[in-house]
A and B are shown apart, each in its own frame.
Chain A
Amino acid sequence: MLVRDVMTSPAVVIPPDTTLEDAYRVMYEKQIRHLLVVEQTHLVGVITDRDLRLATSALTLSPHLPGCGISDVMCRDPLTADPSDPIEDAAFRMRERKIGCLPVMEDGAVVGIITGIDLLDALLRMTGVDKPSGRLEIRLPDQPGELARLTSFLSHRDVNIHSILSHPEGEWLRTVLRVGSIETRALAHDLREDGFDVVWPAEKPWPR
């Protein structure tokens, strides 16, 4: 999944001569936390609701007044993303630098913004419960062809796969599939017969 698939576009932008009060109003009215500061077409900074709150807090030594310009408070030269970046790249940079958003740039112009919330949405989309589906969890040997063996099993049964998530676990590849079927127990039974190590659905603790 790419940044362009999950970014918010167009982003809300404001000019550098905006006052703190006006920036606050834009955030409040649009219910957002990040504004991109753009001069003509050139990105010059990012200002967040946290920047505003810290700058104007009565707890600071000399709080900024509502009429001050944002340029003293905003973050200059922010990190940016390209629409074609994979989202895990964007997530890694945001996590490492502890920032909440990246402006998305194409040919030097702002085309959107990606925030932590967009990444959460992406996680939800990838885990795939937007369609009625059942869950299968399988431990595959971490070897060539194992995942293919699993997907072709499902393909022969005409079972649609809505999503696959997997992560390495020692010498295993733990794989969670959401499939378009209510009959996951029957599938699990047949997968076991075929030699797969099915974690879920499990056998009932008290079989009859």
Chain B
Amino acid sequence: MAEVIYHPAYRDYSFGEDHSFSPLRVDMVLDLLGSLGHRVETVAPEPATHQEIVEVHSDYYVRRVAALSAGETVPDCEEYGLGTPDNPVFPGMDEAARWLVGGALHGARMIDGGAKRVLQLGGGLHHAQRNIASGFCIYNDLAIAIQHLTRRGLWVAYLDIDVHHGDGVQQILYEDKRVLTMSFHESGQYLFPGTGDVHEIGSGLGRGYKLNVPLQPFTEGESYIEVLQQVVPRALRQFSPAVLVVQAGADAHVDDPLADLMLTTLDYERIFRLILGWADEHTGGRVLFTLGGGYSFRATPRVWTLLYLLLHDLPVPKELPEAWRSRWSAVMGGQAPTQFHDAPLPANAVPARAEIERRNRQTADRLFEAVRPYWF
């Protein structure tokens, strides 16, 4: 069983109708679960306080977000990544972002209080840095929740399967030896934010505990899962964390309009099952999932519904309910899929497959070369 954290105020985290980071994605998940006959019971969090935000962010940055949120003019806001095409200003953005942080914090507190599987049905704002908004992320809910856990004496392994590098979380916790970060992403040579090379391994006491696996564009599920299995169990054995925190972005899906990896929902099912198995084996089953990126209306709601179902040990349906399909057909560009799962990609989908697999394998090897000197 799993606890699910959600509040309708999460919907207010919205940069406008045409913006990629749409609250409709979670609406579609909740509606799909309802249409499948599941009664979704959620726990409501409180929004995080200003004090909780400045545990991670600079006060001068948070004050600028609050000012913009209240409709004031902040002349230097673009220096802080605010008021840009990616992160436009919207009224109430400070409070909306604090709701998402509050949800992640609530999840951390529940795990500290003995909960095992927790799903925060929102957030995953892994790009937000100490004093910069970036890639649709204003406050770093993950770093704030992780820091709460480490202050309670719980060492954390953070696994980021969003297709973009988890740069904000990594940067904020770069010197923290109590947090192992692992990010699997499309290589920064090709994709935003440009960082996440194997040689970024942490500094100071955190050296050797920040792991990055930059994958080749057009990587498919087989190769993705191969390196995931090559890296994660070995790192968890080495680090012995008390809790696993997972940013479950769905934008490594083949349909995603922002990136170039090629996972299907079938791959996501295997990945989620592996992660739950690792949590059972290495962290006593304690695992906090958040959402994240995922910009295809056709794919993302199914990936996150799948996550919900697997967390609750519920069966995965074969077909999508007709009522749900017709309600969301327009949002999905008039092409709602009929089956819950994608068809597997054809065997010849990617001409350079063998080369991509070889390079990903080599990346994982080079990662271990980089960190091995710092592992006891």
Of the candidates B193, B217, B345, B351, the one whose C-beta lies within 8 Å of that of A132 is B193
Q: Which residues of A contact B192 (CB under 8 A)?
A: 132-135, 181-182, 184
How long is the Cα–Cα vector from A158 to B89 in the complex, in angstroms?
A: 14
Chain A nearest CB from B218 CB (Å) reads 6
Q: Which residues of B contact A204 (CB under 8 A)?
A: 218, 254, 260, 262
User: Is A208 among interface residues, defined by CB-CB distance under 8 A?
Assistant: yes
User: Is A200 among interface residues, defined by CB-CB distance under 8 A?
Assistant: yes
Of the candidates A129, A178, A180, A205, the one whose C-beta lies within 8 Å of that of B84 is A180
User: Is B20 among interface residues, defined by CB-CB distance under 8 A?
Assistant: yes
User: Is A201 among interface residues, defined by CB-CB distance under 8 A?
Assistant: yes
Residues in A110-161 with C-beta less than 8 Å from chain B: 129, 132-135, 157-160
Q: Which residues of A contact B218 (CB under 8 A)?
A: 204-205
Q: Are the CB atoms of A183 and B85 closer together than 8 Å?
A: yes
| 10 A-B pairs with the lowest CB-CB distances in the bound complex, closest first | A132-B193, A206-B349, A134-B192, A129-B194, A182-B192, A132-B134, A182-B135, A205-B350, A133-B194, A181-B86
User: Is B195 among interface residues, defined by CB-CB distance under 8 A?
Assistant: yes
Interface size class of A (residues with CB under 8 A): 20 to 34
Of the candidates A132, A181, A208, the one whose C-beta lies within 8 Å of that of B132 is A132
How long is the Cα–Cα vector from A157 to B86 in the complex, in angstroms?
A: 11
Chain A nearest CB from B76 CB (Å) reads 14
How long is the Cα–Cα vector from A151 to B351 in the complex, in angstroms?
A: 34
User: Is A186 among interface residues, defined by CB-CB distance under 8 A?
Assistant: yes
Q: Are the CB atoms of B135 and A132 closer together than 8 Å?
A: yes
Q: Which residues of A contact B349 (CB under 8 A)?
A: 205-206
Residues in B162-193 with C-beta less than 8 Å from chain A: 164, 167, 188-193
How long is the Cα–Cα vector from A186 to B193 in the complex, in angstroms?
A: 16
**A182 and B136 in contact (CB under 8 A), knowing A129-B195, A208-B255?**
yes
How long is the Cα–Cα vector from A192 to B302 in the complex, in angstroms?
A: 31
How long is the Cα–Cα vector from A202 to B192 in the complex, in angstroms?
A: 14
Q: Are the CB atoms of A158 and B84 closer together than 8 Å?
A: yes
* Residue ID in chain B nearest A137 by CB atoms: B190
The CB with the most chain B CB atoms within 10 A, among A129, A158, A202, A206, is that of A206
Q: What is B's interface to A at a CB cutoff of 8 Å? A: 20, 78, 81, 84-86, 127, 129, 132, 134-136, 164, 167, 188-195, 217-218, 254-255, 257-260, 262, 345-346, 349-352
Residues in A166-208 with C-beta less than 8 Å from chain B: 178, 180-186, 200-202, 204-206, 208
Q: Are the CB atoms of B346 and A132 closer together than 8 Å?
A: no
**A183 and B260 in contact (CB under 8 A), knowing A132-B192, A132-B194?**
no
Q: Are the CB atoms of B351 and A205 closer together than 8 Å?
A: yes
Q: Which residues of B contact A186 (CB under 8 A)?
A: 257-258
Q: Which residues of A contact B351 (CB under 8 A)?
A: 205
Q: Which residues of A contact B191 (CB under 8 A)?
A: 134-135, 184
* Residue ID in chain B nearest A162 by CB atoms: B194
How long is the Cα–Cα vector from A204 to B256 in the complex, in angstroms?
A: 10
Can you show 26 pairs from A to B with CB atoms below 8 A apart? A129-B188, A129-B195, A132-B81, A132-B194, A133-B194, A134-B194, A160-B84, A180-B84, A181-B84, A181-B192, A182-B127, A182-B136, A182-B164, A183-B20, A183-B86, A185-B259, A186-B258, A200-B190, A204-B260, A204-B262, A205-B218, A206-B262, A206-B345, A206-B349, A206-B350, A208-B255
Chain A nearest CB from B370 CB (Å) reads 18
Chain B nearest CB from A158 CB (Å) reads 5
* Residue ID in chain A nearest B296 by CB atoms: A208
Of the candidates B85, B195, B217, B259, the one whose C-beta lies within 8 Å of that of A181 is B85
How long is the Cα–Cα vector from A158 to B255 in the complex, in angstroms?
A: 27
Chain B nearest CB from A179 CB (Å) reads 9
How long is the Cα–Cα vector from A178 to B189 in the complex, in angstroms?
A: 10
Q: Which residues of B contact A160 (CB under 8 A)?
A: 78, 84
Q: Which residues of A contact B352 (CB under 8 A)?
A: 205
Q: Which residues of B contact A200 (CB under 8 A)?
A: 190
Q: Are the CB atoms of A201 and B254 closer together than 8 Å?
A: no
* Residue ID in chain A nearest B132 by CB atoms: A132
Of the candidates A129, A135, A180, the one whose C-beta lies within 8 Å of that of B86 is A180
The CB with the most chain A CB atoms within 10 A, among B167, B192, B345, is that of B192
**A185 and B257 in contact (CB under 8 A), knowing A180-B86, A205-B350, A206-B262?**
yes
Q: Which residues of B contact A205 (CB under 8 A)?
A: 218, 349-352
Q: Which residues of A contact B350 (CB under 8 A)?
A: 205-206
How long is the Cα–Cα vector from A202 to B260 in the complex, in angstroms?
A: 9
Further 12 A-B residue pairs, CB within 8 A, beyond A178-B194, A181-B85, A182-B192? A129-B188, A133-B194, A134-B191, A157-B85, A160-B84, A182-B135, A185-B259, A202-B217, A202-B260, A204-B260, A204-B262, A205-B218
Q: Which residues of A contact B135 (CB under 8 A)?
A: 132, 182
Q: Which residues of A contact B262 (CB under 8 A)?
A: 204, 206
Chain A nearest CB from B168 CB (Å) reads 9
